[in-house]
Amino acid sequence: MLGRNTAQLTLSFGVNDLDGTIDDTTKIYSMAGSEEQTPAMNTAQLAMLIKQAGRRPIERDTLYNEIMDYTDVAFTEAELAGK
């Protein structure tokens, strides 16, 4: 678990794939002293993190086919708050 700040920074160094699937098994990271104590993010939060880094958030399938381009999507405050 990199944490939000480190994940965002890596986008500036060539990383082009952030994993958006985080489940309860990530609790072990928090217990081990991870940077993030609440690592779960919804789609809106992940897309916003990518946009803030100046990159295009595009959801892809396992074969890298484009599913959804979130570049021009305007998320609501509730979505960004995780509600």
Tens digits of pLDDT across the chain (83 residues): 567 888 888 888 988 887 654 445 555 555 666 655 666 788 899 899 999 999 999 998 888 899 999 999 999 999 998 87
Helix (H) or strand (E) holding 56: none
Structural domains of the chain, count: 1
Give the model's pLDDT for residue 22.
47
7: exposed, middle or buried (Cβ count in 10 Å: 0-12, 13-18, 19+): buried
| pTM score | 0.73
Structural domain boundaries enclosing 59:
4-80
Sign of CA dihedral 71, 76, 9, 65: negative
Q: Which two tokens stand for residue 50?
A: 């990518």
Selection from 21, 9, 24 nearest residue 55 by Cα: 9
H helices present in 32-76, as ranges? 43-52
